Amino acid sequence: MKQSKNIRNFSIIAHIDHGKSTLADRLIERTGTLTKREMEDQILDNLDLERERGITIKAQAVQLDYKAQDGQDYILNLIDTPGHVDFNYEVSRSLAACEGALLVIDATQGIEAQTLANVYLAMEHDLEIIPIINKIDLPSADPDKVKKEIEDVLGIDASEAVLCSAKTGIGIDDVLEAVVKRVPSPSGDSDAPLQALVVDSKYDAYKGVMLYIRIVNGEIHKGMSIRMMATGKVFEVTDVGVFKPALVDVGSLGEGQVGFIAAAIKNVRDARVGDTVTSNDNPAAVPLPGYRKATPMVYCGLYPVENSDYDNLRDALEKLQLNDAALLFEPETSAALGFGFRCGFLGLLHMDVIKERLEREYDLTLLTTAPNVIYEVFLTNGQIEMVDNPSLFPNQTVIDHVEEPFVNATIIVPKDYVGPVMELSQEKRGEYSNMTYLDENRVMIHYALPLSEIIFDYFDRLKSVTRGYASLDYELHGYRPSNLVKVDILLNGEPVDALSAIVHRDRAQVRGRALVEKLRSVIPRQLFEIPIQAAIGSKVIARETVSAMRKDVLAKCYGGDITRKRKLLEKQKAGKKRMKQVGTVELPQEAFMAILKVDK
Amino acid sequence: MVAYTEQLCRHIGRYRKIMPVNPRATIYFGGGTPSVLPLSCLEQIVYALKAKGLWQRPAEATIEVNPGTVDGEKLKAYRNLGFDRISMGIQSLHDKELKTMGRIHNKKEALAALDMAQKAGFKKINGDLIFGYPGQTLNSVKSSVEELVKLGLTHISVYSLSVEKGTPLAKDIKEGKLKLPDDNMVGDMYDFIVKYLPEHGLRHYEISNFAKPGEEAQHNLVYWHYLPYLGFGIGAVSFTGRERRTGPLTMAAYLAGGKQDIEKLTSDIQLEECIFMGLRTIDGINIEEIKERFGVDFKKKYSKEVTECELQNLVEWTENGNVLRLTAKGMQFGNRVFEKFM
Q: For chain B, give the mean pLDDT.
A: 94
* Cβ contacts from A onto B, under 8 A: 91
The string of pLDDT tens digits covering residues B71-106 is: 999 999 999 999 999 999 999 999 999 999 999 999
CB atoms within 10 A of CB B156: 23
Between CA A110 and CA A419 the distance in angstroms is: 22
* Whether pLDDT at A51 is above 80: no
Looking at residue A85, what is its pLDDT?
A: 59
How many domains does the structure of chain A reveal? 5
A562 touches chain B (CB under 8 A): yes
* Whether pLDDT at A382 is above 80: yes
User: Are the beta carbons of A300 and A327 closer than 8 angstroms?
Assistant: no
Q: Which CATH architecture has domain B61-216?
A: 2-Layer Sandwich (3.30)
Please give, rounded to a whole number of angstroms, the shortest distance from the CA of B224 to a CA of chain A.
7
A527 touches chain B (CB under 8 A): yes
Query: Has this prediction a pTM greater than 0.90?
Result: no
With residue A492 as reference, give the H or E element that holds it: none
Interchain proximity A551–B332, CB inside 8 Å: yes
Q: Which of A451, A482, A513 is the last residue in one of the domains?
A: A482
- Three-state secondary-structure class, residue A470: coil
B231 touches chain A (CB under 8 A): yes
Kindly state the average pLDDT of the residues A515-524: 93
Q: How confident is the model at residue A136 (pLDDT cuts 50, 70, 90)?
A: very high
Please give, rounded to a whole number of angstroms, the shortest distance from the CA of A197 to a CA of chain B.
56
Considering the domain architecture, whether residues A17 and A166 belong to the same structural domain is answered as yes
Looking at residue A312, what is its pLDDT?
A: 94
- Three-state secondary-structure class, residue A138: coil
Question: Chain A residue with minimal CA distance to B246?
Answer: A560
Interchain proximity A552–B159, CB inside 8 Å: no
Considering the domain architecture, whether residues A255 and A335 belong to the same structural domain is answered as no
* Whether pLDDT at A496 is above 70: yes
Considering the domain architecture, whether residues A26 and A135 belong to the same structural domain is answered as yes
Kindly state the average pLDDT of the residues A303-311: 92
The answer to whether residue A289 sits within a structural domain is no
* Whether pLDDT at A556 is above 90: no
B185 touches chain A (CB under 8 A): no
A577 touches chain B (CB under 8 A): no
Please give, rounded to a whole number of angstroms, the shortest distance from the CA of A491 to a CA of chain B.
18
Kindly state the average pLDDT of the residues B206-229: 96
Kindly state the average pLDDT of the residues A431-446: 91
A1 touches chain B (CB under 8 A): no
CB atoms within 10 A of CB A187: 12
Q: Domain residue spans in chain B?
A: 61-216, 283-342
Looking at residue A38, what is its pLDDT?
A: 66
- Give Rg (Cα) of chain B: 21
Kindly state the average pLDDT of the residues B128-152: 96
Domain that holds residue A541: 486-597
Q: Which of A368, A389, A423 is the last residue in one of the domains?
A: A368
Kindly state the average pLDDT of the residues A530-555: 93
Considering the domain architecture, whether residues A341 and A432 belong to the same structural domain is answered as no
Considering the domain architecture, whether residues A65 and A161 belong to the same structural domain is answered as yes
The answer to whether residue A380 sits within a structural domain is yes
* Whether pLDDT at A59 is above 70: no
The answer to whether residue A107 sits within a structural domain is yes
The answer to whether residue A246 sits within a structural domain is yes
Question: What is the maximal distance between C-alpha atoms in chain B?
Answer: 57
Interchain proximity A557–B335, CB inside 8 Å: no
Considering the domain architecture, whether residues A448 and A508 belong to the same structural domain is answered as no
Considering the domain architecture, whether residues A39 and A170 belong to the same structural domain is answered as yes
A297 backbone dihedrals φ, ψ, rounded to 5°: -110, -20
The string of pLDDT tens digits covering residues A251-301 is: 999 999 999 999 999 887 787 778 899 999 999 999 988 776 677 889 999
Nearest to B149, CA basis, from B237, B76, B90, B236 = B90
Looking at residue A54, what is its pLDDT?
A: 53
Q: How confident is the model at residue A42 (pLDDT cuts 50, 70, 90)?
A: very low
The answer to whether residue A541 sits within a structural domain is yes
Interchain proximity B223–A550, CB inside 8 Å: no
* Whether pLDDT at B122 is above 80: yes
A234 touches chain B (CB under 8 A): no
Interchain proximity A550–B342, CB inside 8 Å: no
Question: Chain B residue with minimal CA distance to A527?
Answer: B333
Interchain proximity A559–B235, CB inside 8 Å: no
Point out the least confidently predicted range of A114-128, A287-301, A358-372, B29-43.
A287-301
3-state SS record for chain B? CHHHHHHHHHHHHHCCCCCCCCCCCCEEECCCCHHHCCHHHHHHHHHHHHHCCCCCCCCCEEEEECHHHCCHHHHHHHHHHCCCEEEEEEECCCHHHHHHCCCCCCHHHHHHHHHHHHHCCCCEEEEEEEECCCCCCHHHHHHHHHHHHHCCCCEEEEEECCCCCCCHHHHHHHCCCCCCCCHHHHHHHHHHHHHHHHHCCCEEEECCEEECCCCCCHHHHHHHCCCCECCCCCCCEEECCCEEEECCCCHHHHHCCCCCEEEECCHHHHHHHHHHHHCCECCCEEHHHHHHHHCCCHHHHCHHHHHHHHHCCCEEEECCCCEEEECHHHHHCHHHHHHHHC
Of B208, B224, B339, the CB nearest to A556: B208
User: Are the beta carbons of A465 and A440 closer than 8 angstroms?
Assistant: no
Q: How confident is the model at residue A581 (pLDDT cuts 50, 70, 90)?
A: confident
The answer to whether residue A76 sits within a structural domain is yes
Residues of chain B neighbouring A562 (CB-CB closer than 8 A): 223, 239, 244, 273, 277
Interchain proximity A549–B333, CB inside 8 Å: yes
Interchain proximity B339–A573, CB inside 8 Å: yes
The answer to whether residue A290 sits within a structural domain is no
Kindly state the average pLDDT of the residues B131-150: 96
Looking at residue A61, what is its pLDDT?
A: 79
Q: What is the CATH number of the domain that holds A335?
A: 3.30.70.870
- The secondary structure of A139-204 as a DSSP string is TT--HHHHHHHIIIII----TTPEE-BTTTTBTHHHHHHHHHHHSPPP---TTSPPEEEEEEEEEE
CB atoms within 10 A of CB A260: 25
What is each CA distance from B232 to A529, A575, B13, B226, in whole angstroms? 47, 36, 11, 18
With residue A550 as reference, give the H or E element that holds it: none
Considering the domain architecture, whether residues A382 and A462 belong to the same structural domain is answered as yes
* Whether pLDDT at A341 is above 60: yes
CB atoms within 10 A of CB A596: 16
Nearest to B131, CA basis, from B191, B87, B88 = B191
Kindly state the average pLDDT of the residues B280-306: 95
Please give, rounded to a whole number of angstroms, the shortest distance from the CA of A571 to a CA of chain B.
9
